[in-house]
Amino acid sequence: MIEQRWKRWVFFYIPLTLFIIGTLFPFYWMFVTAIRPDHELYRSWRAANNAPFWTLQPTLAHFQDLLARTTFPRWLWNTFFIAVASTGISLFCGLLAGYALARLRFPMAGALGTSIFVTYLVPPTLLFIPLADIIREFHLGNTPWALILTYPTFLIPFCTWLLMGYFKTIPKELEECARIDGATRLGAMVRIIFPIAIPGILSAGIFAFTLSWNEFIYALIFLSSPERKTVPVGVVSELIRGDIYFWGQLMAGALLGSIPVALVYSFFVEYYVTGLTGSVKG
């Protein structure tokens, strides 16, 4: 019994605690830096410090500076709007395409499924240069539409894939019953199948939302005016001047920019996990 307890500590509690600390420390440090006054922040690494992992004079000055210096609330709104719109478009396309691939028989179904899967694996960094040209051609540069229309390139394949898997788990009989009762195929799809698929739709939506919130390279290249930017790009381009990093404001911005997505995530953890694990299922 004593040996058992010893083993449990060494093989379970201690490693798990270390993993948790390692995972969360950067966020804690973000928070402490954001509320630490500048004179404490920029002190030599060898200086005596009474409270290295905490601050004795917490301040909101960095948050105030952030709001005064930049259009941070605008960035938040832009990021939110773009994430919601591109998630909406992707869910719409993914629902229809996923249903067709899971349920309908038509020529080339296999080939189409495979090519959507392949586009799923095309990383944004492969295509950003020609895509920037196309955005310019379409006169979409520096508008939110540049992102709302390009984010679906990595969200649609994912949503289609996830929802296709979900539709396959719904018994065909449900639909057949509805059709015997006189519903059209489209009616059965919209009124019978889609409501059953709501958990799948939520999972795909939450996951897609976090992916769009996270996106960086397209936003970096397609947007140029400060008030149009998303949070990650705004933080990078407006809070660094040459070699000077405004660390307090940077961390305040990072914290505020993470909160919305962390909140969405915390309300829907289970759906998110389903989306995450579903995203890799073959």
Partner 1 sequence: MEVALPRPRAAREPFLTRSLDNERLLAAILLAPAVLILAVFIAYPFVMGVWLSLSSTSVGNPGEFVGLKNFLKAWDDSIFRTAFGNTFFYTFWATVFKLSLGMWVALLLNRHFRGKRLVRAAMLLPFIIPTVLSTFAWRWMFDPTFSVLNWTLYKAGLIATKLPFLSDSTWAMWCAISINTWRGMPFFAITLLAGLQTINPDLHEAASLDGANAWRRFWHVTWPLLKPVTLVVVVFSVIQTFSDFQLIYVLTGGGPANSTHLVATYAYQIGVGAGLLGEGAAISLFMLPVLFFVVWMQLRYLRRLEGA
Q: Which of 127, 170, 196, 202 binds partner 1 (CB under 8 A)?
A: 127
List Cβ neighbours of 144 (8 Å cut-off, separation of 6 or more): 78, 81, 82, 85, 228
Residues 139-198 interacting with partner 1 (rule: CB under 8 A): 149-150, 152-153, 156-157, 160, 181-182, 184-186
**Token representation of residue 218:** 């397209």
- 56 forms part of the interface with partner 1 (CB under 8 A): no
**Token representation of residue 226:** 């400060």
CA distance 83 to 264: 12
Nearest distance from residue 37's CB to partner 1, in Å? Answer: 14
Q: Which of 93, 170, 196, 202 binds partner 1 (CB under 8 A)?
A: 93
- 27 forms part of the interface with partner 1 (CB under 8 A): yes
Q: Which of 1, 2, 68, 129 binds partner 1 (CB under 8 A)?
A: 129
Residues 189-228 interacting with partner 1 (rule: CB under 8 A): 210, 213-214, 216-217, 221
Q: Which of 81, 117, 145, 194 binds partner 1 (CB under 8 A)?
A: 117
Burial annotation 26-45 (CB, 10 A radius, 16+ → b, else e): eeeebebbbbbeeebeeeee
Give the helix/strand (H/E) hosting 241: strand 240-241
* Stretch of residues binding partner 1 (CB under 8 A), selected from 21-29, 55-63, 65-73, 190-198: 21-29
Residue type, 69: R
